[in-house]
Structure 1
């Protein structure tokens, strides 16, 4: 890295760590489609089984042998692999098996590989969206509904074989609510849906959502580590520094005093983060339901930042009902799981973009009021710019 590049990274680290420097003003995004959507993956023709449906934002990295690996399907965690982004094929083997364990302390219920990071294409660290679906385990929840019994935790796992298989260690928790899953919880609880992992050259970052609890606001929080291979090393930004630790409540590592500062303008999980080559600006893509405030219509939005903490007002990229909306009113299909990926990214983890990227997203068919497993993965070119 050049001296100038090191200074930019150092300055970013100082701003994020201490808030002692003036916050950089976020630029205004200027994003627009540069072509029609194309079909990237159709489970009906290309899947291994009924679980191979888009169910998370796409994550891509380049293995040491040059092959691309993508995760973003269901909890069976079958990867898509191939020589280029528009030539990926599914492999009918699970890279991470979870066993529906009825013990919430085992963190071995439904697990999605939600983010990956590799330095060399061989050793790969990943963040896992883990759901303890207590409604599926007799005696674990007194309510019948999925959302009333849903307890989420972000876990860390590791692969030593280029992402072919991942192992969960003895201390896997990256972020947990500071209390244990309760039979009478009555609502969605915990941390969930991490973004992809990005790096400024000094540290590694990811955004993760929380439903909140007494003393903790619900929203999106920024996490940081210098050791992505150590799950317990992640700390959340608390408003002044990266000091908030959300450890394992089953192993005495949880603190009720930990708080993270939620970040505007994100109303819900961020689909992906990418940094633009040349400008150094971060772009975040996410979905939102219509409201009376920032989001006049539902759909995919984009916001920009210079430091990952202070973000622009969102700009609409694609209007439409999302899987955050009432499916009974969707009228056919929903949008979900947006991610920006540059097929010509220079980094092994596809966290950088040029002036153009591909928006990968899922289209979900609705039958009456039910979101079905009839889903496809689409790609559409997007021009990314900022208003100077």
Structure 2
């Protein structure tokens, strides 16, 4: 019995030591103030041309860098390097405003990109069904009470110059709740805001945010696929393995709880995971989040070796956020994404000793959020090995 107790104590000590080592493995600190990448007042191609997703980047087959941080009518910044991208007013993607919620093709934010060769570019899309615009489905006419979200897929065959749905709706669906649209249910429901796509081993991974509804728990869910060309090949983490098959509606005898994901590290990932990159020297993954924790609001980082276990978050920068600001603040911030101009990956999925946190700065007008939003970036240094 004593030997067993000692062994358990040693195992616990080793586990705690490994967790502590992971937490101390990287030190990320800001080394500058936010600098403007694009100014809405100066650069917007249209009123709604404002950064409303985390910044994502990839290099096409010709070496041009595409940086996308856009609204539901999506445009890109393009240029010879991440440091030299400029606004391009060509529309690369938008949803089709379908009235049927089962099609998952209403207003759509193209959010995540991955290209194996610079010619074909796969993408994840955050699709919002706006029930308040269909009063027969949403008697209250209130946006938040009738909002259903899903994750869908798009693809480009011209190096990111334009995107189309990867299949005819609703077969382009990636992650959906297993419950039919309920209309005026009093809260937003579904899966939201996919992170960037990152390769690990033989699979591609992405985080998404889930709201509590039915059997689905609230938190950051993780999904993976071994075939980016097949939207329905993505499988969610169930707490033990990647076995959750997302469906649009369960059939008789098929329990809904088998088709919802389990939040990953819910006591750590308490906000939407905006980006995940791998630190080249250590091999650790670094996630960025905008959240309030321990009474402090701002941009946070956390690290992981396997995308499932995460270190205690560290506050990178204290700042007012999109949903956490005061009327005395000049601006609020959100959508932090870590990008390294010197990344060795075509998809900017790794970082070295320095990088930038790209963010949206929402310039407040008398305590109100308007279209006046800028894409900014803040230099950081990353120490550890």
Do the two structures share a fold, i.e. TM-score over 0.5? Answer: yes
Matched, 1:152 2:142: no
Matched, 1:308 2:307: yes
Partner of 1:333: 331
Question: Is the alpha carbon distance of 1:338 and 1:251 closer, same or farther for their aligned partners in structure 2, counting shifts above 3 Å?
Answer: farther
Q: CA deviation at 1:177?
A: 0.9
Q: Given the alignment, which residue of 363, 370, 373 partners 1:372?
A: 370
Partner of 1:235: 235
SS for the counterpart of 1:93 is: strand
* TM-score (ref. length: structure 2): 0.89
Q: What root-mean-square deviation, in Å, do the aligned CA atoms of Structure 1 and Structure 2 show?
A: 1.9
Q: CA deviation at 1:328?
A: 5.2
Question: Is the alpha carbon distance of 1:103 and 1:251 closer, same or farther for their aligned partners in structure 2, counting shifts above 3 Å?
Answer: farther
Q: Given the alignment, which residue of 351, 354, 372 partners 1:353?
A: 351
In structure 2, how many angstroms separate the alpha carbons of the residues matched to 1:295 and 1:376?
28
Q: Given the alignment, which residue of 272, 278, 281 partners 2:281?
A: 278
Q: Given the alignment, which residue of 17, 24, 27 partners 2:23?
A: 27
Contact 1:107–1:130 (8 Å) recurs in 2: yes
Which string of whole-angstrom CA distances, capped at 9 and with x for unpartnered residues, describes residues 205-237 of structure 1?
000000022222100011011011111000011
In structure 1, how many angstroms separate the alpha carbons of the residues matched to 2:36 and 2:62?
26
Matched, 1:141 2:144: no
Which string of whole-angstrom CA distances, capped at 9 and with x for unpartnered residues, describes residues 39-73 of structure 1?
10112111210111110100100000000011111
Contact 1:286–1:300 (8 Å) recurs in 2: yes
Question: Is the alpha carbon distance of 1:91 and 1:251 closer, same or farther for their aligned partners in structure 2, counting shifts above 3 Å?
Answer: farther
In structure 1, how many angstroms separate the alpha carbons of the residues matched to 2:310 and 2:194?
18
In structure 2, how many angstroms separate the alpha carbons of the residues matched to 1:330 and 1:31?
29
Contact 1:322–1:335 (8 Å) recurs in 2: yes
Gaps (5+ residues) in structure 1? 1-21
Partner of 1:15: none
Partner of 1:202: 202
Q: How many residues align?
A: 360
Q: CA deviation at 1:250?
A: 9.3
Q: CA deviation at 1:109?
A: 1.1
* TM-score (ref. length: structure 1): 0.88
Partner of 1:385: 383
Which string of whole-angstrom CA distances, capped at 9 and with x for unpartnered residues, describes residues 168-200 of structure 1?
112111101111222222110000101000001
In structure 2, how many angstroms separate the alpha carbons of the residues matched to 1:78 and 1:251?
39
Question: Is the alpha carbon distance of 1:260 and 1:78 closer, same or farther for their aligned partners in structure 2, counting shifts above 3 Å?
Answer: same
Gaps (5+ residues) in structure 2? 1-14
Question: Is the alpha carbon distance of 1:57 and 1:129 closer, same or farther for their aligned partners in structure 2, counting shifts above 3 Å?
Answer: same
Question: Is the alpha carbon distance of 1:338 and 1:263 closer, same or farther for their aligned partners in structure 2, counting shifts above 3 Å?
Answer: same
Which string of whole-angstrom CA distances, capped at 9 and with x for unpartnered residues, describes residues 74-129 of structure 1?
11111111111122122222211323222112222111111000000001100001
SS for the counterpart of 1:44 is: helix
Q: Given the alignment, which residue of 278, 284, 291 partners 1:288?
A: 291
Question: Is the alpha carbon distance of 1:100 and 1:369 closer, same or farther for their aligned partners in structure 2, counting shifts above 3 Å?
Answer: farther
Partner of 2:4: none
Larger CA Rg, structure 1 vs 2 = 2
Structural mapping, 1:2-21, within 5 Å:
none
Contact 2:250–2:256 (8 Å) recurs in 1: no
Partner of 1:269: 272
Which string of whole-angstrom CA distances, capped at 9 and with x for unpartnered residues, describes residues 124-148 of structure 1?
1000011001112231212232211
Contact 2:178–2:250 (8 Å) recurs in 1: no
